């Protein structure tokens, strides 16, 4: 019953989406007043999809094996949280979550959007409905999450043990909220291109949605990186894997979009860029969804290897992005840009910022798809991986980081103060950092060294906007910018420190033996068998000390039976200046145990930086929302327009 109710809700939502799109056509072609109806329908559509997702959650929580999806991906022996999280640990369930967020985002726009022009709002909601329609069709036709299995088997096939982790509860939902949240920017951009209302007002309306999606995407990527770091057992946090790139590309586009929107909102300029970026950001989200689910790229992340589904998604992608690009091509001529910007001004800084972000985006895109192009043209198989991306995107990112320190110091329109004077102290700090690294760490690579120097520069320059004014009176938006930019410096410092200072020790050790890694002495005290709810394991007991005091770490190798798999559970201890990362492997013929030990100084700065970036965004968003609230209190022009 529950599954059928979910399926019915999904069909109804699809029907409403179609109707919503029809209303948009009606409104744009004639003078029919549809706003009220449109808003209500969008809200009902969102609610119905939420109900459908709720039903799926319910069948997973109850381990209802008569639903094929539950059978294929769950097991009654699973801990409850993973039963629930397992709802989105598979293709159909995560696709339903995708569509739910799409529909609910549309509902939220319908409920809360007050600043958008009426016609643009209708066009935007209609466009959002059209997006949802395609994905409803995909779900209902090619990926039905509610399919039944008859007769119901006694128990399920279980969930991949690698996914039985708190990371699964957090990473995909956050990431999807970010990915799919960008659809609002897409829809509003398409709506504005249709109605011709591309202006500062649109930018101000789009901004909170882009900010919100961007914050969640930042958090999702940061969480995913940390999850991979502690789960995969080798201490890596980013692999330039195609699916990882698929999450980075929307983020890069969204970051550029965020800054472009600021120019559009403040100066009414960069209209074409902003619209294009809004379209590209969500297009990248759709490309990512396609890549993960079509099986065309090899990846540790790949979900469902199904060319049939891949074809469906490719068709949707081609239609949606193609239509948006056609709209842009046709309407682009009517976008009147303003006068060129002064060379030393914030606008110019932001243009260069966007340029570099777009180039990095282009490189990641090219590198990810290049093997495919080469094979299509010449049949040759080549691989593009970390060595390429690090070598190319790394330096560009460093240049961008330097500019991030300078840009916020520039005024709008024209910077008349001598900016370089302000940067004297950050430059001095950077030079000092360079000297220190050369003296204390002469052997590290050039890229990590530059990373540390640039991080020092950005950390100092990033807080300059708050210096010389009362910090408590500075707008929250400024605080947000400062915190986010500072977060970039922190993350950069962490990445550079990890690349430069990590100590690694791989050895076979017998019990009682001591190994050294960095400043640590690690003794293998014992290896014992142990067991959990659905696994057995070998657990090593390690005693680590540097100078005074000692800590105990217990890494494990776990064996699961449903499906049979083996995983490494690293034991990690965090200290103020780094992490001790330990893994135990198999025993060899001599009776020794394989140990992998890393001392990673300041590696946690990477994810701390990511969190700071998201926090900065949240502060900026809070600032803008509060400002909007305050304006709503005062009586203003636009209130004379009645919307609902």
The closest of 606, 619, 354, 352 to 482, measured between CA atoms, is: 619
| CB closer to other proteins out of 15 and 585 | 585
Choose the binding region for other proteins from 53-61, 208-216, 473-481, 525-533 (rule: CB under 8 A): 525-533
Q: Are strands 556-561 and 535-545 parallel, antiparallel or unpaired?
A: antiparallel
Nearest approach in angstroms of CB 530 to other proteins is: 8
| CB closer to other proteins out of 147 and 386 | 386
- Among residues 114, 115, 148, 505, the one that binds other proteins under rule CB under 8 A: 505
Residue 382 sits in the site that holds other proteins (CB under 8 A): yes
Residue 25 sits in the site that holds other proteins (CB under 8 A): no
Residue labelled with tokens 């410092």:
493
Give the x/- contact pattern for other proteins in 332-361, rule: CB under 8 A.
Answer: xx-xxxxxxxxx----x--xx--x--xx--
Q: What are phi and psi of 385, to 5 degrees?
A: -140, -155
Q: Are strands 503-509 and 535-545 parallel, antiparallel or unpaired?
A: unpaired
DSSP-derived letter for residue 466 is G
The closest of 272, 276, 222 to 247, measured between CA atoms, is: 222
Chain positions 200 to 259 lying near other proteins, rule: CB under 8 A, are: 232-234, 236, 239, 241
Nearest approach in angstroms of CB 117 to other proteins is: 22
Chain positions 424 to 443 lying near other proteins, rule: CB under 8 A, are: none
Chain positions 581 to 640 lying near other proteins, rule: CB under 8 A, are: 585-589, 594, 596
Q: Name the β-bridge partners of 503.
A: 599
| CB closer to other proteins out of 141 and 330 | 330
| CB closer to other proteins out of 589 and 642 | 589
| CB closer to other proteins out of 47 and 594 | 594
Is the bond into 543 cis (omega within 30 degrees of 0)? no
| CB closer to other proteins out of 108 and 325 | 325
Q: What are phi and psi of 250, to 5 degrees?
A: -60, -35
| CB closer to other proteins out of 21 and 328 | 328
HSE-up of residue 106 (Cα within 13 Å, Cβ side) = 37
Residue 375 sits in the site that holds other proteins (CB under 8 A): yes
Residue 521 sits in the site that holds other proteins (CB under 8 A): no
How far, in whole angstroms, is CA 114 from its chain's centroid?
27
Residue 318 sits in the site that holds other proteins (CB under 8 A): yes
Chain positions 543 to 572 lying near other proteins, rule: CB under 8 A, are: 559-561, 563-566, 568
CA distance 52 to 8: 8
For residue 221, give the H/E element and its range.
Answer: helix 200-232
CA distance 272 to 328: 8
Residue 388 sits in the site that holds other proteins (CB under 8 A): yes
CA distance 396 to 362: 12
- The answer to whether the CB of 354 falls within 8 A of the CB of 276 is no
Give the x/- contact pattern for other proteins in 394-423, rule: CB under 8 A.
Answer: --x---------------------------
Q: Name the β-bridge partners of 571.
A: 582
- Among residues 149, 384, 427, 550, the one that binds other proteins under rule CB under 8 A: 384
């Amino acid at each position: 019953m529950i599954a059928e109710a979910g399926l019915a809700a999904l069909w109804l939502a699809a029907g409403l989406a179609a109707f919503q799109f029809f209303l948009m056509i009606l409104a744009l072609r004639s003078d029919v007043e549809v706003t009220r109806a449109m808003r209500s329908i969008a809200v009902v559509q969102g609610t119905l999809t939420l109900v459908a997702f709720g039903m799926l959650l319910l069948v997973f929580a109850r381990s209802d094996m008569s639903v094929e999806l539950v059978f294929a991906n769950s097991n009654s022996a699973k801990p409850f949280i993973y039963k629930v999280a397992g709802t989105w640990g598979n293709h159909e369930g995560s696709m339903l979550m995708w569509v739910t967020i799409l529909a609910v985002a549309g509902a939220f726009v319908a409920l809360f959007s007050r600043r958008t022009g009426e016609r643009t709002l209708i066009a935007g909601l209609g466009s959002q409905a059209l997006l949802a329609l395609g994905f409803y069709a995909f779900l209902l036709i090619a990926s039905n999450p509610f399919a039944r299995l008859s007769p119901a088997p006694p128990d399920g096939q279980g969930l991949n043990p690698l996914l039985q982790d708190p990371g699964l509860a957090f990473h995909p939902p956050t990431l999807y909220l970010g990915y799919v949240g960008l659809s609002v920017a897409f829809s509003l951009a398409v709506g504005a291109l249709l109605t011709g209302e591309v202006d500062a007002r649109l930018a101000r309306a789009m901004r909170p949605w882009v900010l919100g999606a961007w914050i969640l995407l930042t958090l999702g990527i940061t969480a995913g990186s940390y999850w991979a770091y502690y789960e995969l057992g080798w201490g890596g946090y980013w692999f330039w894997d195609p699916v990882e790139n698929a999450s980075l590309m929307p983020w890069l586009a969204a970051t550029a979009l965020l800054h472009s929107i600021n120019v559009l909102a403040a100066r009414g300029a960069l209209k074409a860029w902003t619209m294009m970026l809004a379209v590209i950001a969500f297009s990248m989200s759709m490309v990512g969804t396609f890549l993960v689910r079509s099986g065309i790229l090899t990846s540790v992340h790949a979900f469902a290897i199904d060319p049939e589904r891949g074809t469906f998604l490719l068709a949707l992608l081609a239609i949606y992005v193609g239509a948006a690009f056609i709209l842009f091509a046709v309407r682009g001529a009517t976008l009147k840009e303003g006068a060129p910007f002064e060379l030393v001004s914030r606008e110019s800084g932001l243009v260069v910022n966007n340029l570099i972000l777009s180039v990095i985006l282009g490189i990641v895109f090219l590198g990810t798809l290049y093997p495919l192009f080469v094979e299509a043209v010449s049949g040759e198989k080549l691989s593009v991986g970390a060595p390429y991306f690090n070598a190319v995107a790394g330096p560009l990112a460093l240049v961008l980081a330097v500019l991030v320190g300078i840009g916020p110091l520039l005024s709008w329109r024209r910077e008349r103060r001598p900016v370089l004077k302000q940067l004297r102290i950050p430059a001095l700090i950077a030079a000092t950092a360079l000297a220190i690294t050369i003296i204390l760490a002469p052997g590290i690579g050039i890229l990590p060294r530059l990373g540390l120097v640039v991080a020092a520069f950005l950390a100092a320059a990033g807080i300059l906007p708050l210096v010389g004014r009362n910090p408590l009176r500075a707008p929250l938006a400024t605080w947000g910018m400062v915190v986010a930019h500072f977060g970039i410096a922190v993350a950069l410092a962490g990445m550079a420190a990890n690349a430069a200072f990590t100590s690694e020790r791989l050895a076979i050790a017998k019990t009682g033996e001591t190994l050294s890694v960095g400043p640590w002495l690690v003794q293998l005290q014992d290896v014992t068998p142990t067991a959990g709810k659905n696994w057995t394991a070998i657990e090593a007991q390690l005693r680590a000390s540097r100078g005074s005091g000692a800590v105990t770490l217990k890494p494990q190798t776990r064996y699961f039976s449903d499906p049979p798999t083996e995983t490494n559970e690293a034991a990690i201890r965090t200290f103020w200046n780094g992490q001790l990362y330990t893994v135990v492997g198999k025993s060899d013929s001599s009776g020794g145990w394989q140990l992998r030990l890393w001392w990673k100084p300041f590696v946690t700065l990477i994810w701390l930086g990511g969190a700071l970036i998201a926090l900065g965004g949240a502060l900026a968003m809070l600032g803008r929302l509060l400002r909007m609230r305050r304006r709503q209190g005062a009586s203003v022009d636009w209130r004379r327009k009645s919307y609902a």
